Amino acid sequence: MNFKDRYVVLVLGVLLPVLMNSCHSRPDSWHLRSPDKKIVISVNKRGNPDKMNDVLFYSVSLKEKGKHLQVIEPSPLGLEREDGRFVENLRYLSSDHKKNVWENYQLVSGKHLDCSSEYNELLIHFQNREGKKINMVFRAFDDGVAFKYQFPGQMNRETRVLRELSGFNLGTGQAWAHPYDTVARWSPGYETYYEGPMEIGTSAPLNKNGWAFPLLFKSLDTWILISESDLDGNYGASHLYSGCNDGLYRIKFAEAEEAMGYYENTSHSKIPWETPWRFMIIGNNLSEIVESDMVTDLADPSRLENTSWIKPGRASWSWWSESDSPQDYNRLLPYIDFAAEMGWEYSLVDANWNHMKNGSVEQLAEYASGKGVGLLLWYNSGGKHNEVPEEPRDLMDEREIRRKEFERISKMGIKGIKVDFFQSDKEKIIKQYIDILEDAADYQLVVNFHGCTLPRGWRRTWPNLLTMEAVRGGESYKFDRNYPHDAPSHLATVPFTRNVVGPCDYTPGGFSNSTYPHLTTYAFELALPIVIESGIMHYSDTPGKTHELPDYAQSLLKELPVCWDETRYLAGYPGKDAVIARRKGERWYIGGINGESVEKDLTINIEMLMPAGTELEIIHDGAAPAQLQNSRLTAGENTFTAHLKPYGGFVATIDLKD
């Protein structure tokens, strides 16, 4: 559908007098506006010409230059339970409307710590032919829309959702998406590369199982990111079917082969019950995508009354440089000393530490405590649901065993855990994530998930969750020969896609060359802990290599925060470049990376950050990729120009108190 067609549809079907009331005027059409009245979500019944059945669709419009433009075309609603369908001929019962609902909440880590949201909500009550009830809940925010299903009432026995018919009809334009990977020993783990820009409606590669959340679209100069939020363990996570003809992306449940074929790939629970939120962040500019907190706006409030013990921070990490080092007490000591010297909060002890020689983990914890460094310990999430041999395993899947282990290590002084190799989005595995977070909180342990699903707002509900992988990370230099070539564009896409929906444990700081040498400059690598947000930043290089950096670069790594009072998009385009500003207190940190193999100058507007005439300190590319330069400049007319080498970068800092 072209621009003119979309506008005509909207004028005829949406911009009616009923819209002014933001509520339904007849039992087959409902409309909801955002608080600022720029976004409208419309729900309509319409007959199927082949079967003569009424089915429900929603569409979304965005006000631009005084006109409402349809940005989500009519998209299907409904689902099928084992005891009935909630698709055709749903009988309208009633509706409820909430207006200007405000929520203020605080995060322990994130791109904003003080968060607020305002939305309008429409809840429509239906029942199917058998009299079974379903509610459809819609929310309209100033930066997008969301919907979910509720099953009211009481039922003593469990019922199952067999499939969900929900979809997102994006029409025409460009898309950036990463495939939901094939089922194998190490996957799926949301670690495929983003593809794009490609035409909306492009099918996923033949050897993959569809597209994974989040997906980014540009249609008619509007940016849209879609994903899901607020999984509570009573519903599996979803991805999208490979076939998306005519721009319609449809919900698909986990693959049956996941988790070694164990557990159902449908979702089941007793009623009352509700599904996760499906949401769309919508805006005219990429800033509205990058800066959005919708994923946590939709999540349940924190379950923890006391969060004072949760400490976001930086960590040294020996595995990237020396993969067998966790099995040797003596080889771990330099990384603990390194963390202490840098003022970092943690040191991560990775897989197979239970086979440690020359000392024990108890001794290591005591040594680290004496240095003021907290230890994080790695665990395999299996269980029977994976065959990955790395240890310790069989401690995280059964609650009694898991809690006993958490009690043991917390008494030892361990501060957190890294749990790896989940490799499934089935409801049973989603429940395991939630149970781990709950049990870890009882023993004051922070959590890092790896080989895992996508963040879905859990950092709000369980603030002890500080980071998750679900990204093609820096460890890929060890085993992926294509990674050096693909990494720059990949990392210039992550801020606009994956990192929008939650913390991203990329493990930056790889100044050394691993198996496959990187093509990025040192300034590119130095910018990554700003460009990418994570509640724990695991620095991957050796103490010796980091100490080879100039003093000003080491000073930056010593002081760089991991949680932020404010985050701003300044410049960039997916796959090409990214410039992100983050503020902690009275200091702004700006990170910029070049995802392309060409030199470029980026003129960056910083009027929103500082008064005119304020000085910036900049670390940028030197004459060679492994060289850095340091300089100061005064921004003229609230802009400055950064010169980036091929695959280069820069870091700028601004002190507002000066």
Give the model's pLDDT for residue 27.
Answer: 74
pLDDT tier, 611 (very low <50, low <70, confident <90, very high otherwise):
confident
Amino acid code (one letter) for 603: T
Cβ neighbours of residue 295 under 8 Å, at least 6 residues apart? 227, 229, 279, 455, 456, 457, 500, 501, 502
Taking the C-alpha atoms of residue 503 and residue 488, their distance in angstroms, rounded to an integer, is 19
Q: Please say whether the beta carbons of 355 and 393 come within 8 A.
A: no
Per-residue pLDDT, 13: 43
What pLDDT shows up at residue 51? 54
Residue 49 reports pLDDT greater than 80:
no
The single-letter code of the amino acid at 152 is: P
d(CA 196, CA 204): 11
Query: Residue 587 has which token pair?
Result: 């200091």
Residue 187 has pLDDT above 70, yes or no: yes
Q: pLDDT value at position 6?
A: 55
pTM: 0.95
Is residue 334's pLDDT more than 50? Answer: yes
Q: Which two tokens stand for residue 387?
A: 């065959």
- Of 281, 283, 165, the closest CA to residue 226 belongs to 281
pLDDT tens, position by position, 349-404: 999 999 999 999 999 999 999 999 999 999 999 999 999 999 999 999 999 999 99
Give the C-alpha separation, 557 to 443, whole Å.
30
Q: What's the confidence (pLDDT) of residue 197? A: 98
- Residue 658 pLDDT: 64
Structure tokens at 258: 């996941």
Mean local confidence (pLDDT), 633-648: 88
Residue scoring higher pLDDT (614 or 564): 564
* Mean pLDDT computed over 482-508: 97
Question: Which single residue is written with the structure tokens 């997102």?
Answer: 168
* pLDDT > 80? residue 216: yes
- Region of poorest pLDDT, from 8-22, 252-266, 302-316: 8-22
CA distance 55 to 581: 45
Q: Spell out the residues 6+ positions from residue 338 whose beta carbon is closer than 8 angstroms to its own.
A: 316, 344, 347, 543, 546
Distance separating alpha carbons of residues 3 and 20, to the nearest angstrom = 24
What are 76's strand-pairing partners? 57
- 3 state DSSP class of 270: coil
Q: What sign does the dihedral 392-355-329-370 (CA atoms) show?
A: positive
Structure confidence at residue 637 (pLDDT)? 73
Q: Indicate the residue type of 361.
A: V
Token pair of 372, please? 């003021």
Sequence-distant (≥ 6) Cβ neighbours of residue 196 within 8 angstroms: 174, 175, 176, 177, 216, 493, 574, 575
Mean pLDDT of 531-554: 97
Confidence (pLDDT) at 599 = 97
The CA distance from 475 to 508, in Å, is: 9
pLDDT tens per residue across span 561-573: 999 999 999 999 9
Q: What is the pLDDT of residue 386?
A: 95
Q: Which range among 35-44, 52-61, 85-94, 200-209 shows the weakest confidence by mean pLDDT?
A: 52-61
Average pLDDT over residues 447-458: 98
Three-state SS for 556?
Answer: helix
Delineate the domains of the chain, giving CATH numbers in brackets. Answer: 3-297 (2.70.98.10), 313-470 (3.20.20.70), 504-535+545-658 (2.60.40.1180)
Range list of β-strands (E), 107-166: 114-127, 133-141, 144-151, 159-164
Strand order in the sheet with 577-584: 566-573, 577-584, 587-594, 649-655, 615-621, 628-634
> Can you give the pLDDT at residue 11?
42
CA–CA separation, 640 vs 647, rounded Å? 20
Query: Tens digit of pLDDT for each residue in 15-36?
Result: 433 343 344 445 789 999 999 9
Give the integer Cα–Cα distance in Å for 534 and 109.
8
Q: Give pLDDT, residue 46.
A: 80
Each residue of 607-617: b (16+ CB within 10 Å) or e? eebbeeebebe
pLDDT digits (tens, 9 = 90+) for 269-281: 999 999 999 999 9
pLDDT (0 to 100) of residue 22:
43
Task: Give me the amino acid identity at 207.
Answer: N
Residue 556, pLDDT above cutoff 50? yes
How far apart are alpha carbons 638 and 400 in whole angstroms? 58
Cα gap 641→579, rounded to integer Å:
12
Whether residue 10 has pLDDT greater than 50: no
Q: Which residues pair with 68 in a beta bridge?
A: 63
φ/ψ region of 199 (left if φ > 0, alpha if ψ in -120 to 50, else beta) reads beta
pLDDT of residue 646: 98
Contact 645, 517 (CB under 8 A): no
Angle at CA 296, nearest 5°, toward 294 and 302?
155
- For 564, counting Cβ atoms within 10 Å of its Cβ (0-12 exposed, 13-18 middle, 19+ buried), the class is buried
Residue 321: both structure tokens together: 């440089």
635 pLDDT band, cuts 50/70/90, is confident
Share the mean pLDDT of the chain: 94
Residue whose pair of structure tokens reads 């907190």 in the numeric block: 293
Instruction: Classify the C-alpha dihedral 170-172-175-181 as positive or negative.
Output: positive
pLDDT at residue 65 in the model: 79
